[in-house]
Amino acid sequence: MNCSILIYKNNKFYAKKTLKQIKNGTYIYKWSNIEAGSYFFELEDEKGTVHGITYNHTAPFATDFEAVAEENTPPKSITGFQNGIDILVSYIPNKKLFMLSKKKFFRMRLDIADFGLEKADTIEISGNFNNWTPEEEPVHHMDGTIYEVVLAIPEGVYEYKYLIDGKWFPENENKKLIIGENGALFHAGDIGTGKFSYETIDKNIDLKAIVHNYKSLRYFNKLSDREYEFTIRTQANDVERAFISIVLHEEDNYEMIYELERFKDNTNGFDYFKRIIDFGRKVEKISYFFVLEDGGVKAYFNGDLSYKKPKRISVRTSRDDIEIFSIPEWSKEAVWYNIFPDRFYNGNPYNDPIFNEFGPEAYKINELHENGFIERYKWNKNNNLYGKFDRNRWTADFSRQVTWEKLGEQGINYSLKYARMYGGDLEGIKKKIPYLKDLGVNAVWLNPVFFSYQNHKYGANDFRHISPDFGTIRTSGEKHDVEIGKNNKYGNKSYIDVLGKNAVNSSELKLLEVNLKGENKGKNGFGETADPSTWVWTESDLIMADLIKEFHKNGIRVIFDGVFNHSSDRHWTFNMVMADGENSEYKEWYKFNDFSQYVPVTDSMSDEQAYETMIENKKRIKYNAWAGFNSLPEFNTFNQQYKEYIFNITRKWMYGPDGETKENWQEDDGIDGWRLDVPNCLENQNFWLEWREVVKESKPDSYITAELWGNASGDINGGNKFDTVMNYEWLKTVIGFFINQSKEGGDKYKLKATDFFNELREKRTWYPFQSLQASQNLNGSHDTDRLYSRIVNDGIGRNLEEGKQLEKGYNGIRPDLASNYHPNTTVNWRDSEIKPKDILKLISIFQMTYIGAPMLFYGDEAGMWGATDPYCRKPMLWEEFMYDNEKNPSYINQGEEYPQIRDNDLYQWYKKLIKIRRENRVLVYGKFKELVADNEREIIAYERANEGRSIITAINNSFSDCVGIEIQTDYPNEKYMDLIRGNIVKTSSTGKMKIELKAKQGTILKRWINGSNINGMKMFRY
């Protein structure tokens, strides 16, 4: 079968390319040096049948993107293409699977004359990169005897041969291929010989096996004024031990020598020796060299290898001299709580939404609700698709529909649950601050809060303001104890100053809408434009500032969700383009392609006519939209005016109404940082470099975390983009060890104890240590299923991407009732003595004692369950409410019906563990040391230790009780306290302790210390 791919860029035909079939039935195309843009694709077979490439998930195109090819289906746009990248396009017809994978193609030249040949009919390449299966596709004839080989394989060392017209070349040996900087470029290491591998085998290659560069964060990393991480690279298995010799004061030449710890890079064939050293005080200059020992031979390294003591590397530690990656200390000590505001708590029913993301156009007026908050002419413009709007009842079974859902789902094959509104708001969050404080969390991430009709707010109508359904729709004339700075450059007036006597009983929904015509064209009811000098603090803004202040007073940091890749199609600037067309000053803020059907809005029109014309223009005008959703138009992130707008939005919410950063953060009324949504989708990745400067200048102690689902070292390790990531990769490893049950390879494979430690160790090498400390080690999020439910869906494996767990295949029952009649569930939890909650508790022990900042998704601590969006976004379970019974929502079920109950035992468990985390800073700053990895009994143990403090965590991940677990410590004849159960464990004269653990249980053991000094050392942080 012949197959072609039709490529469309920015809604216009771009190219047609032929896919080549390889021997496993897959069709591929290697697409090189991509141009940035928004693309969609079609596949055309030899009969001329066209299949549109579409998808039903919202996972960003980070490294890989999966979609399906559907006949007679319009394609959906895909974003996330940056300039210069290479992409491997794959199509598997029998699965209708279409895949895009970001790669870096490797090209090499083949001259068949080197094999004594003048011509060839077929040339195939075979190697250990393709299981020695000869393939013709990578080989392309250039000219004469010259061919080019294009391989889409990762960095590494490979062997290969050519099969030319049925004969192997070279005949009696394999050729070696080295991609990237790899240990195979150097002489193999041989520990114990006293010889150090240093030069490359090929003398024409100017590389060295032993590397240290103090100008690179990878090798010289300043963690704080007193704490530094040192790294040196060597050939793998070449050096027995490595040390660093340091002098801080050259006048006294007092030498300090520290041994370094080995980290193996098996992928690239190197060893990295590392050590974090706390000097106990501020250090302004460090002089050092490395000492390498092998086979009784000692060598030194200061940038060059020598066998005599060399001159020391001398480094001043100021920002002018070295790369400094500053991440706030508070973010390392954070225990995060992620709040989805619409589903957390409804504190003010009077501001409940009166419609949803479909807008008033889709609904009849509901006379039982407030309906005068918007103009009457905006209602019922779309042939009354949904009847009258009503919010969903907080305590109902999630499967229960209100009338508009029932009407709207007629004739469609998907659920509208995603568009529900429940009425959670800022006042509700404020009322529950005592709850959060009692739980022990000290940092909150709020899902988007900016003005939007959506429940999730990931498509903003206006970044300048908080959504009225979260704050207040009806204005009250109150300032909510918030002071506005007269010199605030990002808003020095309140809504009261602007509205005067109309500051009471006005509608924020009306006031926030932009005027499409007339003398106030381009301004909203507050007179605002893109110019920050016109900006006003609405009452909803002030309610948010009051909430931020209340969080801060209670010792809780707060960050916003920044969604700067796209807006909603109701954003005020987008509406102005719909009104003004190509003449709009905001046209270049977005990616428009075709205005040929545009109808202008004129001053002669009535307000209703102007509104209707603007709405219809959204169907007539063509533009790029995120993930193919026309309701989410993408910004042109290269546009300077757009950038300034976002920069000023950032400053507004970081400075807060008073317009300044307080020295005492607990008195500050601005946010503490940002979580960034799909940041890798921005075509202009340099935007983030500029934006980071804005953030850190506004508030030096601010925090930036990014939604990056894979290895994000390229976005983190420069120290000039994001501080850290939402650590989905940590969660994948956790699922692999604690949840998976399969012995077969792949996503469902259950990691052994050694596998678990090895994977964690590898992922710790991805980022600088301070970034690891601040990474959000999450149970899940609004984009994944609940961890509690994932435990009983082990058949899914560790694949987290949205849309991979289709509703029909998920076991959505309350987890303690799950049984293995469901194909996703291996264990009969319903009849098991071990319950899913025991697994969740076990994971929480690891979460609270590992490197990184633990994060709960609202309700994790209450035992909430559910599949991916929208089921992970159910209303919070509160003790004060009576909830309806839930019917098992799984398509495969036995008719179960059961109470929706809050798990207060689980709440107390999380409260205890959070307390342990926060009271023992060694769990934040301590080194991580593996102690036990017992594959047969599924036992792991590890230590977090620093400056004499020691906490040992032991975990029994098996379904059997284990006795006689021996753990070797560095402390003979000492006591350890079990922080969970309160009992004492003693070590022997050799430092060994012996413990027992019941099935699926763990323990946290703290070294018992009397007094403030440990082994004569002065304690600093602990």
pLDDT per residue as tens digits for the range 76-124? 988 878 888 899 999 999 889 999 988 888 888 899 999 999 999 999 9
Answer whether 975's CB lies under 8 Å from 986's CB. yes
**Separation between Cα atoms, residue 326 and residue 315, nearest integer Å:** 18
Mean pLDDT along residues 575-586: 97
Q: Which residues contact 864 (CB under 8 A, 6 or more apart)?
A: 786, 788, 858, 874, 876, 877
DSSP-assigned states of every residue in 709-737: -S--HHHHTTSSS-SEEB-HHHHHHHIII
Centroid of chain to Cα 40 = 25
Q: Which residues contact 718 (CB under 8 A, 6 or more apart)?
A: 217
Cis peptide before 60 (omega within 30 of 0): no
Check whether 1011 has a pLDDT greater than 70: no
pLDDT at 648: 96
Give the percent of the chain with pLDDT over 70: 97
pLDDT at 1021: 30
pLDDT at 157: 83
**Separation between Cα atoms, residue 105 and residue 17, nearest integer Å:** 18
Give the percent of the chain with pLDDT over 90: 80
What DSSP character marks residue 209? Answer: S
Other CB atoms within 10 A of residue 648 CB? 20
Check whether 62 has a pLDDT greater than 70: no
What DSSP character marks residue 589? Answer: G
pLDDT at 155: 78
Check whether 1010 has a pLDDT greater than 80: no
Mean pLDDT along residues 629-642: 93
Helix 572-580 with 607-620: angle, nearest 10 deg: 90
The amino acid present at 239, given as its one-letter code, is: V
- For the purposes of burial, counting CB atoms within 10 Å of the CB of 728, is it exposed (0-12), middle (13-18) or buried (19 or more)? buried
* pLDDT tens-digit map of 300-335: 999 999 999 999 999 999 988 888 898 999 999 999
pLDDT at 8: 94
For the chain, where do the domains classified as CATH 2.60.40.1180 start and end? 922-1007
Least Cα distance to 848 among 740, 754, 942, 968 occurs for: 942
Cis peptide before 349 (omega within 30 of 0): no
Report the 3 state secondary structure along 866-886.
CCCCCHHHCCCCCCCCCCCCE
Q: Indicate the average pLDDT of the chain.
A: 93
* pLDDT tens-digit map of 4-60: 999 999 888 999 999 988 877 899 999 988 888 889 999 999 889 999 999 876 566
DSSP-assigned states of every residue in 823-846: TT--S-GGG-SS-HHHHHHHHHHH
Helix intervals (H) in 621-752: 640-655, 687-698, 713-716, 728-734
The CATH number of 185-324, from 3.30.1600.10, 2.60.34.10, 2.60.40.10, 3.40.50.300, is 2.60.40.10
Structure tokens at 268: 């690239």
Check whether 802 has a pLDDT greater than 60: no
* pLDDT tens-digit map of 675-706: 999 999 898 998 999 999 999 999 999 999 99
Lowest mean pLDDT of 227-236, 251-260, 576-585, name the range. 251-260
Check whether 803 has a pLDDT greater than 60: no
Mean pLDDT along residues 922-937: 96
For the chain, where do the domains classified as CATH 2.60.40.10 start and end? 106-180, 185-324
Mean pLDDT along residues 965-983: 96
* pLDDT tens-digit map of 412-457: 888 999 999 999 999 999 999 999 999 999 999 999 999 999 999 9
pTM: 0.86
pLDDT at 978: 97
Check whether 564 has a pLDDT greater than 50: yes
pLDDT at 1016: 37
CATH homologous superfamily of 106-180: Immunoglobulins (2.60.40.10)
pLDDT at 991: 96
The CATH number of 922-1007, from 1.10.8.60, 3.30.300.30, 3.40.190.10, 2.60.40.1180, is 2.60.40.1180
The CATH number of 4-103, from 2.50.20, 3.30.70, 2.60.420, 2.60.40, is 2.60.40
**Separation between Cα atoms, residue 1022 and residue 171, nearest integer Å:** 65
Pairing of strands 897-898, 886-887: antiparallel
